[in-house]
C-alpha cells in the first residue's frame, strides 16, 4: 500500500522531560491507529534524538526519526555544529532548507546544496523544503515539502486547490515524494492528504501534543 509520509517537526520545543511524556502518551494511545498506510517520522531537536530513539525502541513504536537540520560541514572543528556523520546512527532522515532556516539563519541555495551533499554522504534520506515551485531542488533528495511561509504556524493553510497545482509543477521535474506543510491539523488534514500526488505532510504545531497528533493520524 502507498504509505503517506508524515513528518512531525517539533522545532525548538520540548526538553527531555516533555519528550518522555510525549512518547509515553503517544505509545499508550496509538493502539487503534491504522499504521499500514502511514510512515511516521518524528523530528525532535538534536538534544532529544537519543532519548526519543531509545523510547521508540523500548515501546516498539512504528516510527523513524529525522533531524531538523544538519551542518553544511563534515565532522571536524566546527564548534556548535552537528554533522550528518554524527547523526547517521540516530536518524534515517534529515530536513534541509526549512523556511525558518532560510529566513533566520540565511541559508541560501549554496549552503543547502552543501548540506544535501553531507546528508547524501552519510546515507541520510532528505526532506527538502521549498517555499514555491520555482525553487531549486538538489539532486538526490527523496522528498520535497512544499511549505509556503505564510501558511507556517499561521493557522491559515494554503488552499488545497493551489497545493494541488504546485504539486503538479513540482512533479514535472521531480520524481520523489511530494509533501505539503503549513498549518495542517486534525480538522483539515483530510483536505490535504487526499490531494492528487500528495505523498505526505510536514506537521509542526499540531504534532507537539501526542493526543492531537494521534487524532490527526486517525483521519484516514
Ligand atoms: P506548522 O509548521 O504545522 O506549525 O504550520 C509546519 C512546518 O513549519 O514544518
What pLDDT digit, counting tens, does each position of 108-145 carry?
Answer: 999 999 999 999 999 999 999 999 999 999 999 999 99
Q: Residue 46 is placed in which grid cell?
A: 538534536
Ligand 1 atom nearest to CA at 9: 9
Please name which of 133, 128, 66, 65 lies closest in space to residue 101, comparing C-alpha atoms.
Answer: 128
What pLDDT digit, counting tens, does each position of 4-49 carry?
Answer: 999 999 999 999 999 999 999 999 998 889 999 999 999 999 999 9
- Averaged over 69-91, what is the pLDDT? 97
User: What CA–CA distance (Å, rounded) separates 102 from 117?
Assistant: 17
Q: How far is CA 99 from CA 32, 86, 144, 152, in A?
A: 34, 24, 13, 9
User: What CA–CA distance (Å, rounded) separates 82 from 99?
Assistant: 19
- pTM for the full predicted model: 0.97
Nearest CA to ligand 1 atom 6: 204
- Determine the distance separating the centroid of ligand 1 and the alpha carbon of 125, expressed in angstroms: 20
Spatial contact of 11 and 100, defined as CB atoms under 8 Å apart: yes
User: What CA–CA distance (Å, rounded) separates 38 from 99?
Assistant: 25
Amino acid at each position: 500500500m502507498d504509505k503517506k509520509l508524515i513528518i512531525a517537526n517539533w522545532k525548538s520545543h520540548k526538553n527531555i522531560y516533555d519528550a518522555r511524556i510525549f512518547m509515553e502518551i503517544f505509545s499508550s494511545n496509538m493502539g487503534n491507529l491504522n499504521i499500514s498506510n502511514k510512515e511516521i517520522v518524528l523530528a525532535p531537536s538534536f538534544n532529544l534524538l537519543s532519548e526519543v530513539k531509545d523510547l521508540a525502541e523500548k515501546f516498539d513504536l512504528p516510527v523513524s526519526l529525522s533531524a531538523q537540520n544538519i551542518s553544511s560541514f563534515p565532522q571536524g572543528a566546527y564548534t556548535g555544529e552537528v554533522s550528518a556523520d554524527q547523526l547517521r546512527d540516530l536518524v534515517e532522515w534529515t530536513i534541509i532548507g526549512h523556511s525558518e532556516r532560510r529566513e533566520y539563519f540565511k541559508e541560501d541555495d549554496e549552503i543547502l546544496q552543501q548540506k544535501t551533499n553531507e546528508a547524501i554522504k552519510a546515507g541520510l534520506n532528505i526532506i527538502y523544503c521549498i517555499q514555491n515551485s520555482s525553487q531549486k531542488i538538489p539532486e538526490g533528495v527523496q522528498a520535497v515539502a512544499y511549505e509556503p511561509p505564510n501558511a507556517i504556524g499561521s493557522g491559515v493553510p494554503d488552499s488545497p486547490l493551489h497545493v494541488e497545482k504546485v504539486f503538479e509543477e513540482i512533479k514535472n521535474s521531480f520524481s520523489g515524494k511530494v509533501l505539503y506543510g503549513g498549518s495542517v491539523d486534525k480538522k483539515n488534514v483530510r483536505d490535504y492528504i487526499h490531494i492528487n500526488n500528495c505523498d505526505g505532510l510536514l506537521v509542526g504545531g499540531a504534532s507537539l501534543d501526542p493526543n492531537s497528533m494521534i487524532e490527526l493520524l486517525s483521519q484516514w
